[in-house]
Structure 1
Amino acid sequence: MSRRAVPPPSASEPIVAESDRFRHDLIRALGHEPRAPVLLAVSGGPDSMAMLTLAAAAMPGGIAVASVDHRLRPEAAAEAAMVADHCAAIGVPHATLAPHAAITGASIQAAARTARYGLLAGHARAIGAEALATAHHVDDQAETCLMRAARGSGLSGLAGVRPRAVIDDVVVVRPVLEWRRAELRAIVRRLEIPFVDDPANHDPAHDRTRFRRLLDANEWLGPPQLARAAAALGDADGDVRAIVDWLWGERASVNGVGVRVRVAGLPRELTRRLARRAIGHVIAAADLSAPKWSEAANVEALLDALAAGKRATQAGVVAAATGEEWRFRPAPARRTG
């Protein structure tokens, strides 16, 4: 009895199991089957090019791609063009986005991130995308967790990158958040997908590069374990947020631009979050533009003052303690002349 030779697998076959895994992870992050196109943020690096490859195999006709040229490096335009050429070759819509004004500031990376998400969210809305997907992975999560721990971040910061978030009113998902960097790079190498290595990823001037080197040099730190810890902290942070939402409904009273919050018997973490929410509400209601305010701002001095029955001002909002109630309102305008 003769035996028929089995032909070797084609280049596309090794991606089947991985694309199925990707689709499962995307649906889990999104919460349901995609009902509209998903916009992929693709820089041209191996991680995002692997995500593009997986998504194209898992969701043919269901994705679009955008690349951001921050105009901070002369090579960025060629990198975006490489992504555009590859997308044209595989039949995926692509757009290159660029900021209208130069990116400046004390932290160029932070300013670039803000600009990037603003551009991507705007394009997602313009094309009717259901969500924006980024290629954050296990190793990114571990680096973020270590960086924020070194900065003394609280629960929300240590939770790191979330599988699902809302940025600029657009749902952002991270479908490869449980994949290793090496897995993603192996996909693009095996399938000979073009990619570029951003030199900024190797520049020791950046905090992330230094923490990446620390992880690479110390295997015992274990990126998967750090990522799991960040995920557990993310779950805990979500529970605390739900408690704060309930407390806000039960204990906060809003009167125009003013807010009153009953804080009796609450632990410091909950009063911290309620104070931040109250400050944010006053700023939005009174349309205060300065000083700059962030939900991650340090409010410890304000909490100490209120706990001692004193007044304190932060971000243009004055807070005062009256018995078991804290009151927040816009700070009076300073007299000049």
Structure 2
Amino acid sequence: MALEGLRQRLTDLPQGRFGVAVSGGSDSMALLHVAAETLAPARLCAVTVDHRLRPEAADEAQMVARFAEGLGVSHDVLSWADGPFARETSGNLSERAREARYRLMADWARERGVVGVLLGHTADDVAETFVMRLGRRAGLKGLAAMAPVTHFHGVPFHRPALDERRAALRGHLSGAGLHWIEDPSNRDPRYDRTRARDALRHLSAAGLDPDDIAAAATHLRAAEIGLQHLLSDWATRHARTHRGANLIDAPALFDLPSDPALRVLGGALRHVTGVAHPPRAADLSRLLAALRSGDTRATLHGCLVTRDRTGIAVLREPAMAEASVPVPLGATWDDRWIVIGPGESGMSVKAVGAAGLSQLGNWREAGLPRAQAMSGPGVWRGETLIAAPELLPDGPFASKFARDDFPAWLASH
């Protein structure tokens, strides 16, 4: 039977119901079809994200819905509300769309109660990504193959087709008389991935096949995992998470060679915010240099980073926390905190902020810096702060940081 490796990896998945991310392209359509053949359709639910960047995207999502329905798999469409305005703002559109897509799917996965989401990335994607990042002079982390399982916003995303070639997936669909959507952006030379595919065709003609590149990237992935574990062991001795902030021993960090020190610092930023990617290397290097020079107070990547005689603290930037959308009790706020307690109508979770501290005469008893206190979770009813469980933990509300402590988290990131 074709695609035996993919079928085996699907069979080896944990028990439970899985989401399948389906764009309508060949890779994700084949993944859904093979998953429905291999697993009971009742164990699957499909999801399509409409970024609202192309007018035909809505019709494509409906085509996927009909395809899923024919397989007996439920299907939902998620829309990126900010998509129509994204082109008018500065920044990397593809990166912002990707971040929005994973955030939407993670929220959907939690609402659906699925144990993970399946992605259709293939060996071709691994090779293309390698070429793209090689052009950006990436190091080990950037050139390493994408992981078989990655956590985004607390949800595991599985890539069971990483060892499969796109041609094999298309052959499966064609053999079953099925069709897929060709995204016109895949032929647009303005996009890095399109140029990477063109480069791979030339490399294949020269005898360097995408399978070879994907295999090399997989070897680099193994080296990357080893380094992650070494840095996690280091962080166990020299760093800790305290009420949503990462505290790092400054002399120990400065004793590390430059690359590991940057990895630890970039990881500390990502751990606090939940952002998938680290800041630009140049910005991170400048921050590390400033920390080495002495007492520092700087913002980067949504974090406030300080150094004083007690060490380095990486915490959420208060202004960014206050800008985060309020959520109901029990939901993840600011991609950091989950607050539970006796909910009542009109209650929501948002940053304590300066307004909340003004209503708490004894907040200093918690022993937290003002910025950390401001960026923590508060339970509000209108303009009234009902509770601040990280500052006054003895009430009926409890808060939990949404990720493992930094040293443990670093082992897989």
* TM range, smaller chain: 0.7 to 0.9
TM-score, structure 2 as length reference: 0.66
Cα deviation, 1:301-330, whole Å, max 9, x if unaligned, reads 3334555x445545242346x7xx963467
Aligned to 1:65: 46
Q: Does 1:229 align with 2:209?
A: no
Of the three residues 225, 235, 239, the one matched with 2:226 is 239
Q: Is the 8 A contact 1:65 1:95 kept in 2?
A: yes
**Matched AA of 1:148:** R
Distance 1:277 1:218 in 2: 34
Distance 1:144 1:126 in 2: 31
Distance 1:310 1:151 in 2: 32
Of the three residues 4, 7, 23, the one matched with 1:43 is 23
**C-alpha distance 253-20 of structure 1, shift in aligned 2 (>3 A):** closer
Aligned to 1:259: 247
Of the three residues 50, 54, 74, the one matched with 2:34 is 54
Greater alpha carbon shift after TM alignment, 17-26 vs 94-103: 17-26
Q: Is the 8 A contact 1:66 1:94 kept in 2?
A: yes
Of the three residues 306, 329, 337, the one matched with 1:318 is 306
Distance 2:242 2:13 in 1: 41
Cα deviation, 1:272-292, whole Å, max 9, x if unaligned, reads 2222344556x66xxxxxxx9
Aligned to 2:184: 199
**C-alpha distance 258-96 of structure 1, shift in aligned 2 (>3 A):** closer
Distance 1:258 1:168 in 2: 18
Residues matched between the structures, number: 302
Of the three residues 253, 272, 280, the one matched with 1:297 is 280
Distance 1:253 1:86 in 2: 48
Distance 1:197 1:47 in 2: 11
Distance 1:199 1:212 in 2: 14
Q: Secondary structure of the equivalent of 1:18?
A: coil
**C-alpha distance 247-20 of structure 1, shift in aligned 2 (>3 A):** same
**Matched AA of 2:10:** L
**C-alpha distance 212-294 of structure 1, shift in aligned 2 (>3 A):** closer
Q: Is the 8 A contact 1:47 1:181 kept in 2?
A: yes
Q: CA RMSD in A?
A: 2.8
Cα deviation, 1:12-39, whole Å, max 9, x if unaligned, reads xxxxx23643232235xxxx54311111
TM-score, structure 1 as length reference: 0.80
Indicate the percent of aligned positions where both proteins have the same amino acid. 33
Q: Secondary structure of the equivalent of 2:2?
A: helix
**C-alpha distance 258-200 of structure 1, shift in aligned 2 (>3 A):** closer
Q: Secondary structure of the equivalent of 2:83?
A: coil
**Matched AA of 2:231:** V
**C-alpha distance 329-242 of structure 1, shift in aligned 2 (>3 A):** closer
Q: Secondary structure of the equivalent of 1:218?
A: helix
Aligned to 2:406: none
Greater alpha carbon shift after TM alignment, 199-208 vs 265-274: 265-274
Offset, 1:265:
4.7
Q: Which runs of 5+ in 2 are unaligned?
A: 318-368, 371-413
Aligned to 2:118: 133
Q: Is the 8 A contact 1:22 1:176 kept in 2?
A: yes
Distance 1:190 1:280 in 2: 44
Q: Does 1:26 align with 2:10?
A: yes
Question: Larger relative CO (CA 8 A, sep 6+): 1 or 2?
Answer: 1
Distance 1:149 1:311 in 2: 36
1:86-105 matches, within 5 Å, as 86-102=67-83, 104=86, 105=89
**Matched AA of 2:9:** D
Offset, 1:300:
2.0
Aligned to 1:276: 266
Offset, 1:258:
7.0
Offset, 1:251:
1.7
Of the three residues 77, 81, 84, the one matched with 2:58 is 77
As a proportion of its length, which structure holds more strand?
2
Q: Is the 8 A contact 2:143 2:217 kept in 1?
A: yes
Q: Is the 8 A contact 1:19 1:57 kept in 2?
A: no
Distance 2:159 2:264 in 1: 29
**Matched AA of 1:273:** R
**Matched AA of 1:266:** L
Aligned to 2:323: none
Offset, 1:194:
2.3
**C-alpha distance 99-225 of structure 1, shift in aligned 2 (>3 A):** same
Offset, 1:71:
1.0
Cα deviation, 1:204-256, whole Å, max 9, x if unaligned, reads 11011011111123213321111112112212111111111111111226677
Q: Secondary structure of the equivalent of 1:189?
A: helix
Q: Is the 8 A contact 1:319 1:327 kept in 2?
A: yes
